[in-house]
Amino acid sequence: MNITFIPLSEFRPRMEALRQEKGMDFLRDIIGMDWGEEGIGAIYMLENSTTKENIAVATRTTDRENTIIPTVSDIWQIANMYEREVFDFFGVVFSGHPFMRRLYLRNDWVGYPLRKDYDESEALNPVRMFSEKNEEDYLHTLSPDGTITTTLDNSFDDKEYVINIGPQHPATHGVLRFRLSLEGEFIRKVDVHCGYIHRGIEKISEKYTYPQILALTDRLDYLSAHQNRHALCMCIEKAMGLEITDRTQYIRTIMDELQRIDSHLLFVSCAAMDLGALTAFIYGFRDREKLLDIFEEVTGGRLIQNYNTIGGVQADITSGFAGKVKEYCKYILGKLQEYNDVFTNNTITRKRMIDVGVLSKEDAISYGCTGGTGRASGWSCDVRKRHPYALYDKVDFKEVLYSKGDCYDRLRLRIDEIKESVKIINQLIDNIPEGDYKVKTKPIIRIPEGSYHAAVEGSRGEFGVFIESRGEKSPYRIKFRPMGLPLVASMHTLLKGCKIADLMAIGATLDYVIPDIDR
């Protein structure tokens, strides 16, 4: 992957030019980076959503005390969140950012953990046995004399009716916390607090060998376990120049699609549950169970399968696999009609979802909402079509697109995508070629020096892996593109003027998974 470095002084105008003149409207990711002697900075991965042209630019500064980079959060809306993450881990203050607050770690955390000179001693950051107070959220702004000042975050005042949705709440599907300011049933302000399940996977990975890191990817978005691991394996294989067999490609593609069906089934059932239709919820889980049985038979795991590995897959598929998958595909197509009957076409569902939480195409791109959410808004953002990998350029399938971008489109899109996944599986399942399921690799895997990137279409968006290697057996820096963070970021726009009940409908149909956001 080529990274173009831009000097700090030219950074803002060059970024604006990229957006305006080259039409780079999709900011895929901002990767904070500590290059050591050469400075601290960030890599910006940009894409033109129409021409699919990719570019990676970076900027850095050698000042480790007052590390300041101009913000791009006014150019791409999602940069707001990404920059907060970079600030959290690298201490880079983005000048002009409206809301520079730590994203994942506690406000009293000492130091910036992903810097290479970070002091890991436990004395500095002991396990704190008291909870963080809302009043202790700090904002970091740049004062005119060039220093960074820290002020208290006063976004909610005492007179407002502030309510917490989460971190323990049935509708957040995990430990995410929204602070809402309510006026009756209406939501006036939203503040997202992430980090309740932050495990520092990127930091841990810097000390692990590559095969060890594989075990962590399944635990990011547990409903895209296969795809996540596929992305990491693909990135490492690309870096090592490893050719994998056709049989592996077939198995990986089929498993990815099965995982997508699994995730979408859970999506539909959980959307039903959030709207209060418990019967539809149980129907989805009943059908998902059969799929998990297939996973269990092949991989040994039901949720966390640990199946892909560098150079192939852990174990060959079982003899009855093809038959069972075909049977399941037939079964699930019949059941989709049942979901439509009991839930999707229900009048109340339609009334609750149509025209609620409309995400325009421009906003979807600006927020980087890939996956089903982006496609429901009419943005053709499927990685399987944009940058085909594995066997996706050989199979025939349709990229499902809707145009309105409301909750109902997002719901229907998932059901349609299950059909497309079945179509892909049906094309592949009878033709799995003979051969090795795994290429032999060296016991110790090293990646040549350089930067590498690979992306797959996860169950809820583009899942990217970025590896910066210095030729060691562990990465210098590894970054996973979270699929859920853009979705959560877009809630700020979607929730304006909505009611509490709409929050559930929007949250359910955006389909975020928290461990993927927090990593």
Partner 1 sequence: MFDFSIITTAIDQFLRSLMPSAMAVFLECVLVAVCVIVAYVLLAIVMIFMERKVCAAFQCRLGPMRVGFWGLLQVFADVFKMIIKEIIHFKRTDNLLYNLAPYLVVLSSLLTFSCLPFARGLEVLDFNMGIFFVMATSSFGVLGIMLAGWSSNNKYSMIGAMRSGAQMVSYELSIGLSMLTLVALSGTMQLSEIVERQADTWFIFKGHLPALTAFIIYLIAGNAETNRGPFDLPEAESELTAGYHTEYSGMGFGFFYVAEFMNLFIVSGIASTLFLGGWMPLHIPGLDGFNAVMDFIPGIVWFMGKTFFVIWLLMWVKWTFPRLRIDQVITLEWKYLVPIGLINLLIMTLCVVMGWTL
Residue ranges in contact with partner 1 by CB under 8 A = 161, 163, 169-171, 182, 184-185, 272-280, 282-283, 286, 342-343, 346, 348-349, 351-352, 499-504
Q: What is the DSSP string of 344-384?
A: IT-HHHHHHHTTSS---HHHHHHHT--HHHHHHTT----HH
Token pair of 28, please? 């895929």
Report in angstroms the alpha-carbon separations of 372 from 64, 347, 413: 40, 23, 7
Distance of CA 144 to the CA centre of its chain: 36
Q: Is residue 110 a contact partner of residue 117, using CB atoms and an 8 Å limit?
A: no
Which is closer to partner 1, CB of 286 or CB of 330? 286
Instruction: Enumerate residues 6+ apart whose C-beta is below 8 A from 405.
Output: 358, 359, 360, 361, 364, 376, 377, 378
Instruction: Enumerate residues 6+ apart whose C-beta is below 8 A from 119.
Output: 110, 111
Q: Give Dmax over CA atoms of the chain in angstroms.
A: 70
Q: Is residue 462 a contact partner of residue 10, using CB atoms and an 8 Å limit?
A: no
Q: Is residue 483 a contact partner of residue 391, using CB atoms and an 8 Å limit?
A: no
Least distance CB 134 / partner 1 (angstroms): 14
Which is closer to partner 1, CB of 171 or CB of 365? 171
Phi, psi of 480 (to 5 degrees): -105, 130
In three-state secondary structure terms, 395 is coil
Question: DSSP label at 438?
Answer: B
Report in angstroms the alpha-carbon separations of 510 from 267, 299, 452: 9, 29, 29
Helix/strand/coil (H/E/C) assignment for every residue in 86-145:
HHHHHCCEEECCCCCCCCCCCCCCCCCCCCCCCCCCCCCCCCCCCCCCHHHCEEEEECCC
